[in-house]
Structure 1
Amino acid sequence: MQIKLVKHLTVSILFLLLLAGCSQDSVLHNKELDESINSVVENKDNSEINIQSFINFDWDKAYLITPYTSQEGINDQLGVAFKDPSNIYKRDDIYLLVFLDGEEVAQYVEINRQQTSFSIGEKEHLTPSDAVINIER
């Protein structure tokens, strides 16, 4: 009887750990989109990036996260929990672009600064119909 209880408890704990570990694993770092956006930035003649032309997944909001943003600041900006894998809170070489589909983070990209800054103007976030990031050189 005691062995059954220990086995049941062990299986339950392992299951909970598996669920906790998988929650952030489903968020994809879209390296292909990284490359596409970064190639636009490399061309000094470009002053904006229309990200919608490179996207082939479902999303309804995208947030531009600036260098040195804290984990708490990211979560406040997104309105959902997202464990930042890039450690942007201590970096100034990238911006994060985090895509939400509904209330879930779907994908994210790292945009290399390449001696530039980026903005989305006064908007809180981008949408598929308004998906332009300004390149400030």
Structure 2
Amino acid sequence: MKKRDVLLVILIVLFTTLLIDYFNFRLMKIDNKYYDEFKDRLYKVTQEKTSFNMKDVTPFQWDKMYIISPYTSKSEIQEIVGIKWTTSNTYLGYLLYQKTILGKYPLDDDIFHKLVFIKGEEVLLDITLNRMEIDFTKVKDVVFYNKAEFVIKKEGDRCIILKNR
């Protein structure tokens, strides 16, 4: 084989790999369209009330809500939820934060935790929250839509969310 033929084969393999990875990105991408509205509603309810039902806060229907603790890696999060997804808006962002060390630990500090809302086999919302403002980490179980009542315990400006049994 000539050098040119080897180079052509390498370029075809590289292009095919990137194309497959790009389509994988498009399949995994969620739009997180409820992010701002949900965050605003959650902050408002935790400041104004002493208890709430999560289904009244979410502007969408969901089946399960997962509370992801600090220091949980991206692969552990996806294993817990059972779905692979990305919130990256661009393929370059996906490559940087899904495929490199930069994205392996999205909850890399004790101050951060995450809520992930699922409907069927689809992630509807992935939101990272500051535990010094709103802290769901005392709730250990998966939360189901019909059992999503919480009590708010205030400690200064911090709202600790507890499951209402």
Tell me the residue number matched to 1:129.
146
Q: CA deviation digits over 1:46-105, x for unaligned, max 9?
A: 4444221122223211101122222233123212224577811x1222321101111221
Structure-2 change in CA distance of 1:95 and 1:35 (3 Å): farther
Residue number among 32, 41, 63 corresponding to 2:46 in the alignment = 41
Structure-2 change in CA distance of 1:69 and 1:42 (3 Å): farther
**Separation in 1 of the partners of 2:26 and 2:112?**
26
**Structure with greater Cα Rg:** 2
The answer (yes or no) to whether the contact 1:118–1:134 under 8 Å persists in 2 is no
**Separation in 1 of the partners of 2:58 and 2:120?**
16
**Separation in 2 of the partners of 1:32 and 1:119?**
22
Using structure 2 for the length normalisation, give the TM-score: 0.59
Structure 1: give runs of 5+ residues left out of the alignment.
1-5
User: Which residue identity lines up with residue 131 of structure 1 in the other structure?
Assistant: A
> Aligned pair count?
130
Tell me the residue number matched to 1:3.
none
Aligned Cα root-mean-square deviation (Å): 3.3
Structure 2: give runs of 5+ residues left out of the alignment.
1-8, 88-102, 155-165
Residue number among 102, 111, 130 corresponding to 1:112 in the alignment = 130
Structure-2 change in CA distance of 1:47 and 1:94 (3 Å): farther
Kindly, what percent of the aligned residue pairs are identical?
24
Which of structure 1's runs of 4+ aligned residues deviate more than 6 A? Answer: 8-11
